[in-house]
A and B are shown apart, each in its own frame.
Chain A
Amino acid sequence: MIDRETVKHVAKLARLGLTEEEVDVFASQLSVILENIAKLQEVDVSGVSPTAHASRLSNIMRADIPQPCYPPEVLLANAPEQEDNYLKVPPVLEES
Chain B
Amino acid sequence: MTELYTLTIHEAGELLRQRKISSVELTRAHLDRIRALDDKVKAFTLVTDDLAMMQAEEADRRFSSGATVSPLTGIPLAIKDVICTKDITTTCSSNMLKNFKPPFDATVMERLNAAGVVMLGKTNMDEFAMGSSTEHSAFFPTHNPWDLERAPGGSSGGSAAAVAAGMAMGALGSDTGGSIRQPAALSNVVGLKPTYGRVSRFGLVAFASSLDQIGPFARDARDAALILQAIAGFDPRDSTSSPEPVPDFSASLNDSIKGLRIGVPEEYWVDGTQPGVVKAVRDDIEKLREMGAEVSEVSLPHTKYGVAAYYIIAPAEASANLARYDGVKYGYSYRDTNDIWELLEKTREYGFGPEVKRRIMLGTYALSSGYYDAYYKQAEKVRTLITEDFTRAFERFDVLVSPASPSVAFKIGEISDPYEMYLQDVFTIPANLAGICGVSVPGGFSNGLPVGLQLLGNFFAEDLILRVAAAFEHVTAYHTCWPKAV
Footprint of B on A, CB under 8 Å?
Answer: 2, 6-7, 10-11, 13-19, 22, 26, 29-30, 32-34, 36-41, 43, 45, 48-57, 60, 62, 70, 74-75, 77-81, 87, 89-92
Q: A55-B196, A74-B103 are in contact. List 9 more A-B contacts (CB 8 A).
A: A10-B361, A14-B361, A17-B348, A34-B362, A38-B308, A39-B304, A57-B197, A87-B328, A89-B343
Q: Does B337 contact A (CB under 8 A)?
A: yes
A31 to B240, CA, bound (A): 35
Q: B381 to A91, Cβ gap below 8 A?
A: no
CB distance from A69 to the nearest CB of B (A): 11
Q: When A16-B348, A74-B103 are in contact, do A53 and B362 touch as well, CB less than 8 Å?
A: no
Q: When A32-B419, A75-B103, A87-B328 are in contact, do A54 and B387 touch as well, CB less than 8 Å?
A: yes
Q: Does B374 contact A (CB under 8 A)?
A: yes
Q: Which of B319, B327, B418, B432 contacts A33 (CB 8 A)?
A: B418
CB distance from A80 to the nearest CB of B (A): 3
Q: A43 to B382, Cβ gap below 8 A?
A: yes
Contacts of B196 in A (CB 8 A): 53-55
A79 to B101, CA, bound (A): 11
Q: A48 to B345, Cβ gap below 8 A?
A: no
Q: Does B368 contact A (CB under 8 A)?
A: yes
Contacts of A55 in B (CB 8 A): 196-197, 210, 240, 242, 435
Q: When A15-B341, A45-B381, A79-B329 are in contact, do A7 and B361 touch as well, CB less than 8 Å?
A: yes
Q: Does B17 contact A (CB under 8 A)?
A: no
Q: B210 to A54, Cβ gap below 8 A?
A: yes
Q: Which of B340, B360, B379 contacts A92 (CB 8 A)?
A: B340
Considering only residues 380-406 of chain B, those with a C-beta below 8 Å from chain A are 380-385, 387
Q: B364 to A50, Cβ gap below 8 A?
A: no
Considering only residues 314-344 of chain B, those with a C-beta below 8 Å from chain A are 319, 323, 326-333, 335, 337-341, 343-344
Q: B340 to A30, Cβ gap below 8 A?
A: no
Q: Does B433 contact A (CB under 8 A)?
A: yes
Contacts of A11 in B (CB 8 A): 361
Contacts of B348 in A (CB 8 A): 14-17
Q: B308 to A37, Cβ gap below 8 A?
A: yes
Q: A43 to B418, Cβ gap below 8 A?
A: no
Contacts of A18 in B (CB 8 A): 349, 357
Q: When A55-B435, A62-B236 are in contact, do A13 and B378 touch as well, CB less than 8 Å?
A: no
Q: A36 to B378, Cβ gap below 8 A?
A: no
- The residue in chain B whose Cβ has the minimal distance to the Cβ of A81 is B335
Listed from nearest, the 3 A-B pairs whose CB atoms lie closest are A54-B435, A17-B349, A50-B380
18 pairs, CB–CB < 8 Å, chain A vs chain B: A10-B365, A14-B323, A17-B345, A19-B349, A22-B354, A26-B358, A30-B361, A33-B419, A45-B381, A48-B381, A48-B384, A51-B381, A54-B433, A55-B210, A78-B103, A78-B330, A80-B331, A87-B328
Q: Does B346 contact A (CB under 8 A)?
A: yes
Q: When A14-B319, A18-B357, A91-B340 are in contact, do A51 and B380 touch as well, CB less than 8 Å?
A: yes
Looking at chain B's contact residues, is the secondary structure mostly helix, strand, loop, or mixed? helix
CB distance from B307 to the nearest CB of A (A): 8
CB distance from A10 to the nearest CB of B (A): 5
Q: When A15-B344, A40-B309, A89-B328 are in contact, do A45 and B378 touch as well, CB less than 8 Å?
A: yes
Considering only residues 4-18 of chain B, those with a C-beta below 8 Å from chain A are none
A33 to B417, CA, bound (A): 10
Considering only residues 275-331 of chain B, those with a C-beta below 8 Å from chain A are 302, 304-305, 307-309, 311-312, 319, 323, 326-331
Q: A43 to B365, Cβ gap below 8 A?
A: no
CB distance from B204 to the nearest CB of A (A): 15
CB distance from B105 to the nearest CB of A (A): 13
Q: B339 to A90, Cβ gap below 8 A?
A: yes
CB distance from B387 to the nearest CB of A (A): 6
Q: Which of B197, B360, B418 contacts A16 (CB 8 A)?
A: B360
Contacts of B375 in A (CB 8 A): 37, 40
Q: Does B125 contact A (CB under 8 A)?
A: no
Q: When A55-B242, A79-B330, A80-B327 are in contact, do A40 and B382 touch as well, CB less than 8 Å?
A: yes
A14 to B320, CA, bound (A): 9
Q: B210 to A22, Cβ gap below 8 A?
A: no
Contacts of A74 in B (CB 8 A): 103
Q: Does B449 contact A (CB under 8 A)?
A: no
A77 to B302, CA, bound (A): 48
Q: When A16-B361, A56-B459, A78-B329 are in contact, do A50 and B384 touch as well, CB less than 8 Å?
A: yes
Q: B368 to A10, Cβ gap below 8 A?
A: yes
Most B CB atoms within 10 A — which of A11, A37, A81? A37
Q: B101 to A78, Cβ gap below 8 A?
A: yes
Q: Which of B240, B357, B362, B419 contacts A57 (CB 8 A)?
A: B240
- The residue in chain B whose Cβ has the minimal distance to the Cβ of A35 is B419
Q: Does B465 contact A (CB under 8 A)?
A: no
Q: Which of B307, B352, B435 contacts A56 (CB 8 A)?
A: B435
Q: B379 to A90, Cβ gap below 8 A?
A: no
Q: A89 to B340, Cβ gap below 8 A?
A: yes
CB distance from A39 to the nearest CB of B (A): 6
Q: Does B100 contact A (CB under 8 A)?
A: yes
CB distance from B434 to the nearest CB of A (A): 6
